[in-house]
Amino acid sequence: MSEENQIYVPRLAIGLVHYPVRDRMQKTVATNITNFDIHDIARAAQVYGVEKYYIIHPMEEQLMFVERVLDHWRTGQGSKFNPMRKTALTMVKTASSVEAAIADWNAPDCLTIATSARVEWAKRKYAFAELRNEMHVEKKPVFMLFGTGNGMTEQLIGSCSGVLESIRGAPPKDYRHLSVRSAVSICLDRVMGPW
């Protein structure tokens, strides 16, 4: 295939942030990593061409749990039992902080984009179409962050390049209480889907 006929695939990494996030009382906490989030988000990331999926947590015990899960599916019994799962988990990495994850990905001048319902904390607000244009036309690498608990802290959101518009529910209810796994899949389809 000639160079001009090759499809450009935007550079995208995602991070699932377990700290710093907020609890229901708006206190800064660290949330527990769940097995479902490791697997399901990795599968969505594989479908949409994500380069790296970082699970971000400051506690070594939590990161060791992720590594045990990954070892089982990459090289242990799970790799023989379900080769598709092994493929999906190839891009999963752990990091002790957002900064460490971004440094590890090593995409100079990448946009860091938070996903949050709290857009008032943003330096800039991105509609899905605007971010898609930045990625596909302007060819800017993007590191997209997804929060657990009750979302990322104001300080973390404010440190990002911008915040992606929130996912809206169907009218008239506009119900907005998705699992992070569902939110990741919707966001990835809107910015990376072949439509």
Please write the tens of the pLDDT for every residue from 101-157: 999 999 989 999 999 877 777 789 999 999 999 999 999 999 999 999 999 999 999
Helix, coil or strand: residue 2: coil
10-192: CATH topology: Alpha/beta knot (3.40.1280)
Instruction: Please list, in sequence order, all residues whose beta carbon lies within 8 angstroms of the beta carbon of residue 101, skipping any fewer than 6 positions away.
Output: 13, 15, 54, 56, 93, 95, 143
pLDDT digits (tens, 9 = 90+) for 77-96: 777 777 777 888 999 999 99
Beta strands in the chain (DSSP E): 12-17, 21-22, 28-29, 52-56, 92-95, 111-115, 125-126, 142-147, 162-164
Q: What does the alpha-carbon distance between residue 150 and residue 25 come to, in Å, rounded to a whole number?
A: 9
Residue 2 has pLDDT above 80, yes or no: no
Q: Which residues of 116-134 are buried (b: 16+ CB within 10 A; e: fewer)?
A: bebbebbeeebeeeebbeb
pTM of this prediction? 0.93
